[in-house]
Amino acid sequence: MMKQSAFLSKPDTITALLGGILFLILSPQLAQAERALRTNGFITATFSQVDSEVPFMGGLNDEINFSQGSLIGLQTTFQPSEDPIEFVVQLLALGKEQWEVDAEWAYVAYRPTDAWELKLGRYRIPFFHVSEFLHVGIAYPWVRPPEEIHFVPFTALNGASVKRSGHFGDLEMAVQMYSGELKDLNTQIAGLTLTTDRFESHGIVLSAETDSTNVRASFHKIQKIGITINSLAAANPNLDFASLLAFAGSQGLNPGDFEDVDAITFSVLHRRDNFEFRGEWAEEDFNENAPLPDAYAYYVMLGYYMGNFMPHLTYSAYDTKEKGLANLGQESIIAGLRVNVNPAVAVKVEVGQMRLDDAVGTVGFYDTLPSSITGTAILDEEVNIFNASINMVF
């Protein structure tokens, strides 16, 4: 009988040998699984301060604020083998939300061909040009995109989206249609807390792009918002609703009548030589007698690349078409500098000034209702702001 090798008689040796054989057998499958599962992330750390004691733009005041624009996100994508199906989950924690982790994205995508994409689940609402990468600060020049056009309080929706894209010579075109709902939304507008159990949003997005230019237009209808006077009273227990109702009545408004909103947007991005131009327009029409007036907003930005440095100047404005419970009209000028430290890290600094409209009852983006309702002191017509951030992707 052949004598067993002392080397093979050791249990640890046999286990290691079997493990090595198993690894060689499974290594192609393991490599394929690694390719199918991808995880990346993004971080923004901000510093912001305004020269106003009254809270402005969601909580900024004359004290240093490190949390308002800070965030961290992780995105995992899984594509089993070569199937045209992809599972995407994005977890997001915002400093202004006490770093509570929420699923910003959670959808399954089906791409039967390169031209078609279907999404089912929770996905980003395609309102604006930067909507798809709103929280990835390294993807745009500003510390935060202009508030006048990007202050929509919700960014994701539960529903379905279908997109058709194609090339026509050097032009890439796409059409996207979406429909969905959002539940249990709480948001702040002019210091007033708005709560709704559920609403629906439907829309279509058209885009055309070349190597240097992107043009985009979108149309949206938000329905069944269902904010009532009772929900307003429950969400704002410290507000004098007698004064609110009296003021609203004098303006012919119903402060609890939010039902439908129609919105359109149009944007242009153009790069030529070292110059970059961005512009966007948005318009919103509320149902008749709603407490907020129909309004429009826009911005224009011009930047110039100098190696890793990009100084830029942005003018933005939010204006109303008629009277409302609170006039949010204001304009802003922001001067900024972006420094690309490396392809994964950018540092940004900005200084700016916001100026309120001179109409009666104007609060701009202050976190308060007009003094005619609240009895608070007259607001400063000009607010200066300083922003700085570090943006990173990994």
- For domain 36-393, the question of CATH label 3.30.750.24 is answered with no
Of 99-103, 316-320, 325-329, minimum mean pLDDT range: 325-329
pLDDT at residue 339 greater than cutoff 90: yes
Query: CA-CA distance, 82 to 108, in Å (whole number)?
Result: 15
Neighbour-count burial for 34-58, b at 16+ CB within 10 Å, e otherwise = eebeeeeebbbbbbbbbebebbbbb
What pLDDT shows up at residue 11?
A: 47
Query: CA-CA distance, 69 to 89, in Å (whole number)?
Result: 22
Q: On the CB side of 49, how many CA atoms lie within 13 Å of its CA? A: 5
What pLDDT shows up at residue 243?
A: 61
Q: For residue 7, give both structure tokens.
A: 């080397």
Average pLDDT over residues 82-106: 93
Query: CA-CA distance, 179 to 162, in Å (whole number)?
Result: 9
Between 21 and 143, name the one with better pLDDT: 143
Q: 394 falls in which pLDDT band (50, 70, 90)? A: very high
pLDDT at residue 236 greater than cutoff 90: no
pLDDT at residue 7 greater than cutoff 50: no
Of 120-134, 149-163, 287-301, 338-352, minimum mean pLDDT range: 287-301
Between 349 and 24, name the one with better pLDDT: 349
Kindly provide the residue ranges of all beta strands, DSSP E only, lying in 190-274, ordered along the sequence.
Answer: 192-209, 213-223, 261-272
Range from 78-92, 152-166, 231-245, 304-318 that averages highest in pLDDT: 304-318
Q: In the chain, pLDDT over 70 holds for what percent of residues? A: 75
Q: What is the DSSP letter of 131?
A: G
What pLDDT shows up at residue 8?
A: 44
Give, rounded to a whole angstrom, the gap between the first and last alpha carbons of the chain.
Answer: 60
pLDDT at residue 353 greater than cutoff 60: yes
Residue 149 near residue 158, CB atoms below 8 Å: no
